[in-house]
Amino acid sequence: MPKKIRKKHLLYLLFLISYSTFGQFSGTNLFESQYGQIPNDFSNFSSTYNRTLLNYTYNNFKAGLTLENYYTPYQDRNYTRLTQGSLQYTSKWINVRLGSYQETIGRGLLLRSFEIPGAILEDLSYRSRYYFQRDIFGFNTTLKLKNSTTKIIYGKPLNNVFPPNQDQSLRRTDEIFAVYSDYNFYNQTLGASVLNVKNTSGNQLLGMTTISGKLSSVFSYYFEGAKEIGDNNFSDFSSTSTYAYYGNLNLNFENLGISLEGKNYNNFIIGSGINEPPALIKEHTYKTLNRSTHVAQPLNESGYQVEAFYTLANASIITFNHAVAINNLVNKKFTFEEYFTEYSFSIKDKHDVKIFADYAIDPLKQEENRISLGAYFDWKSSKKSSLKTEFEFQTFERNGISTQNYVVIAGYSYQSKWIINLVSEISNDQFLTSNPLKSWLGCNLKYQVNNKNNIALFGGQRRGGPACNAGICYEVLDFKGIEARWNYRF
C-alpha cells in the first residue's frame, strides 16, 4: 500500500477515535520570569521557568505528563525535562497507578510524598529552579473494599535536594516496597504496614501499626507506632534503636475544639528522608512566626502540642496553642517551647481584625525569650473592595544580643480580581547583616483574569529565610528584582 494512503487512513482513524472517545484534556501551566539577583550574585540576570502539567482522561483511565523547563544565561543551570509521567486506572474498588504518584502511609512516619502548589525551589548550590514536590516513581495499587483498604507500593521516591538537571540516579537513590492494610469496624480502624527500603547502605525493614476511631460524638483519637524490625529485636527501644510513635486526641464540645498530640522519634530518618513524621508545631501564616517555625528533627525528638479553638456566636474565633519539642542531640538537650494565642473578630459584621501574641524559646535557632506580636486588619471600603494592613513585631535574644524584626504590609483588593500590596521588612539580625539595619521593600500585584488565568507581578526586594507551607519547611532565598508569573488552567 502506498505510504501516502496509509498516512491518510491513520489520520482519519485518529480523527474518528477523537470524536468517538470524547476523552478530555486538562492541565495547568505555570510560567515565571525573573530579572534580578539573589544572594551571592554580583549582577542581575534574567531567567524563565515553565511547568506544564497535561492530563488526558478517558473513562476510568488517566494519563499525565509534566514538562519543566528552566532557562538562564548560564548553561549549567538550564534544563528541559519530562519530570513526571503517569498512567492511572480508577474504579470504585481499585486504583492502579504506574509512573509518578504520591503516597503517604498513615501520618507520614514511614513514608510521605507531597507537592507544594505553586512553590518553585532554588538553592545557592545548584542554582537551578524547579517545582517543589516529592513524588515516587514506580507502581502503586489500592484496593478499597467496604471495610478495608489495602495498598501495595513500589518505587523510587524523589530526593528533591537535587534539581532536574542532575543525574536521575542521584535524585532517586532509595527503592521502596511497602504493603499497608487496614480494617474498619464499629467506627474504629486498625491498620498495619511493612516497608522495605533499599539503597547503597543496604536494606532496612520497618513495621508500623495504627489505630484510630471515634469513641463518642465528642471524642476521637489516632495512634501510629513504627519500628525497625529487620533486626528481629522488637523490644529494643534503646537510644541506638530506630522507632517512632505519634498520637492525637480530639475533643469537640459545641463551639470548643481541642486537639492534643504527642510524639517520640528516635533515629527515624528513613533513607534519604522519604518520611516526614508529624512536627507537632503550629504552622503560622504570619511572616515572622512562619519564619521562626521549629523544624522537627526525626533523629531525636519528643514532645507534644495542644491547640484549642473556640468559635463565638458572632463567628469570632479564639485560638490557643502550646507546643514543646525536646531534642537530645550531640549529648545535649534542647527544649523548644511555644505559646501562641490569636483572636479574630469582625467589627460591624464587615471589617475583619486578627490580633496575635506569641512567646517562644528556641535553642536550636539560638533564640531566647522570643516575643512576637501582630495585628491584621481587613477594612471593607465598599461592597466589593477592601483595604488590608498588617503589622508584626518580633524580638528575641541571641547570645546576649537583642534582635528585632518588623513587618508592615499595606494592600488593597477588589473582589477576587485585583490584589495589590506593599511589603516592608526591617531587621537588625546579625545573622543577616553586619549593618545596624537591613530592610526589604517589595510590591505584589495579582490579577485574576478569569476562572482559568491569573497573573502575579513582583518588584523590589523580598526577604528569604525558612518558610513552611502545607506542613513542609524549606529555605527561600532573598530576591531583588522583578518577577512575573502566569498561572493557567485548562
d(CA 4, CA 53): 34
Residue type, 281: I
- Measured from the CB atom, the residue of 127 and 282 that comes closer to another protein is 282
DSSP secondary structure letter of residue 179: E
Q: Are the beta carbons of 255 and 312 closer than 8 angstroms?
A: yes
Using only C-alpha atoms, the chain has a radius of gyration, in whole angstroms, of 25
Least distance (Å) between residue 108 CB and another protein: 4
Least distance (Å) between residue 259 CB and another protein: 5
- Measured from the CB atom, the residue of 370 and 485 that comes closer to another protein is 485
Least distance (Å) between residue 257 CB and another protein: 3
DSSP secondary structure letter of residue 280: -
d(CA 200, CA 136): 18
- Measured from the CB atom, the residue of 175 and 307 that comes closer to another protein is 307
- Measured from the CB atom, the residue of 189 and 395 that comes closer to another protein is 189
Least distance (Å) between residue 444 CB and another protein: 14
- Measured from the CB atom, the residue of 341 and 385 that comes closer to another protein is 385
The pairing of strands 479-489 and 453-462 is: antiparallel
Q: Render the burial of 30-67: b for 16+ CB within 10 Å, e for the rest.
A: bbbebebebeeeeeeeebbbbbbbebeeeeeebbbbbb
**C-alpha grid cell for residue 269?**
530518618
- In three-state secondary structure terms, 461 is strand
Least distance (Å) between residue 235 CB and another protein: 27
CB atoms within 10 A of CB 421: 17
Q: How far from the centroid of its chain's Cα atoms is residue 288's Cα?
A: 18
d(CA 295, CA 291): 10
- Measured from the CB atom, the residue of 283 and 478 that comes closer to another protein is 283
- Measured from the CB atom, the residue of 39 and 117 that comes closer to another protein is 117
CB atoms within 10 A of CB 171: 19
Least distance (Å) between residue 214 CB and another protein: 5
Least distance (Å) between residue 436 CB and another protein: 34
Least distance (Å) between residue 334 CB and another protein: 20
Contacts of residue 219, defined as CB under 8 A and 6 or more positions apart, other chains included, come to: 249, 250, 251
- Measured from the CB atom, the residue of 60 and 404 that comes closer to another protein is 60
What are the beta bridge partners of residue 34? 47, 483
